[in-house]
A and B are shown apart, each in its own frame.
Chain A
Amino acid sequence: MTSVDLASAAAVPLLVPHATIVAVALLLAVVTIALAGPVPVALARASWPSRSPVLALLLWQAIGLAGGLSMIGALALGGYSLVPSWLALLPAAGLAVYLLTHLAITVVQVTRQRRRHLVLLDLLAAPHPTETATRVLDDAAPVAYCLPRGVGSVTVLSRGLLDTLDADALRAITAHERAHVEQRHDLLLLAFRAWRSALPWFPVAAYAEAEVAALIEMLADDVARRDVQDCDLARAILAVGAGRVSGAEPAEPSTRESDRFRRLAA
């Protein structure tokens, strides 16, 4: 049996006209290209996301999800329009598996890094006397970060930070970190990190991640600003950040990080 016979043997009768399949495949290809280039570039350059980080984050998620699905869809329908056999769906299935595998690998990596870090924190950082789920690391540098992971989230403050900052500025930091934890920003970052690791040759994936990271910080700032004054937050940012040189983020991001600080002055 020749390969042509094989293909016709496996052929499934078309439920929709061939021309429709081709048209939809082309449409999805156009959507994929738009979501892979011009749309995210425009969003990254726009200034409005700094004013409405919530909306911008929703858009980034939609772009990521729709981009992936349209890519898979275009590949599936395009293949099917050329060879009407289930074999034509294999490339699309392969792509889907590839993307999901990267998501799984990222989840495992992140979980492992967090677990290792927590083991050391348990042994080295004393619980904060008053704040719950907060630990104090005995280091002179002013540092604040959190390990967000749902129920077991831990906020870490350094002794240097507690020594330098007054209660109001500290409250700004804990409110900011609590927002990350409660709104599960870690899951969002995880998804975009997986996206970047699946598409390392694709610059848009890298700066999508940087944009999302910066927008998340603005969002957490906004939550903190409900409880504290802008000047408390500004003092806290200065105390932690002023001693450190900025830069060296993944990809060359927009000025979104500076926007975060400019919003406080507005």
Chain B
Amino acid sequence: MGALGELERAVMDAVWDAGAAITAYDVQASLEQAQQRTWAVTTVLTVLGRLEKKGLVSSDRSARPHHYRAVASRADHVAELMHEALGETTDRSGVFSRFVGGISAEDADMLRSLLREG
């Protein structure tokens, strides 16, 4: 992952950790604390804009400075990823290759007996 990817992740972490709507200045402060490094507010705003375009962050532009909040929690997104990769509902063939889907009880027993012998 490139430097921009790292920064996006750090900004997203700041938004998630905040739990409520925060401003770019709050994100900047949180980054500074986490990374011991100061990012320009314009950079933070650019990243927030990218995250918004990706549908991960929503903004309230009526407030000054603008407020940003996470569209969904970290756990929700992890659940979404797991569901996408493993769920039977979405058409995932060719998109993902999972190591193994579910296995039947008989197949599981057969593999267990193989392991006992080995």
Residues in chain A within 8 A of chain B (CB atoms): 106, 109-110, 113-114, 117, 119-125, 127, 137-139, 141, 143-148, 156, 158, 173, 176-177, 180, 185-186, 189-190, 192-193, 209, 213, 216-217, 220, 229-231, 234-238, 240-242, 244-250, 257-258, 261-262, 264-265
Contact = CB atoms under 8 A, between A and B. Distances in A.
The number of chain B residues touching the other chain, given as a range, is 35 or more
Contact of B108 (A138, A143, A242): A242
Interface stretch (B20-28, B35-43, B59-67, B86-94): B86-94
The 9 closest A-B pairs by CB, nearest first: A244-B102, A246-B102, A241-B103, A144-B99, A145-B98, A189-B94, A241-B100, A248-B88, A190-B94
Contacts of B98: 143-145
Nearest to A197: B91
Interface string B90-113: 111111111111111011101111
9 contacts: A120-B56, A122-B9, A123-B9, A147-B95, A234-B114, A240-B100, A241-B108, A261-B110, A264-B111
Given A124-B77, A141-B82, A234-B114, A246 B95 contact: no
B78 interface: yes
A1 B72 CA distance: 68
Contact of B81 (A121, A176, A177): A121
Contact of A265 (B5, B9, B94, B111): B111
Nearest to B95: A113
Contacts of B102: 241, 244-247
Given A113-B95, A123-B12, A258 B104 contact: yes
Given A193-B93, A245-B102, A138 B78 contact: yes
A122 to B, nearest CB: 5
A245 to B, nearest CB: 5
Interface residue SS majority, chain A: helix
A153 B115 CA distance: 32
Question: Which of B54, B77, B101, B113 gathers the greatest number of chain A CB atoms within 10 Å?
Answer: B101
Interface of B: 1, 5, 8-9, 12, 54, 56, 74, 77-78, 80-82, 84-86, 88, 90-104, 106-108, 110-115, 118
A181 to B, nearest CB: 8
A234 B97 contact: no
Given A119-B54, A231-B118, A237 B100 contact: yes
A117 B84 contact: yes
B8 to A, nearest CB: 7
B103 A237 contact: yes
Contacts of A125: 81
Contact of B1 (A122, A145, A156): A122
Contacts of B8: 122-123
B110 A177 contact: no
A241 B95 CA distance: 19
Contacts of B56: 119-120, 123
Nearest to A224: B99
A144 B112 CA distance: 20
Contact of A241 (B80, B91, B94, B101): B101
Contact of A186 (B97, B100, B111): B97
Contacts of B93: 189, 192-193, 209, 213, 250
A120 B1 contact: no
A178 B28 CA distance: 39
Contacts of B100: 144, 217, 237, 240-241
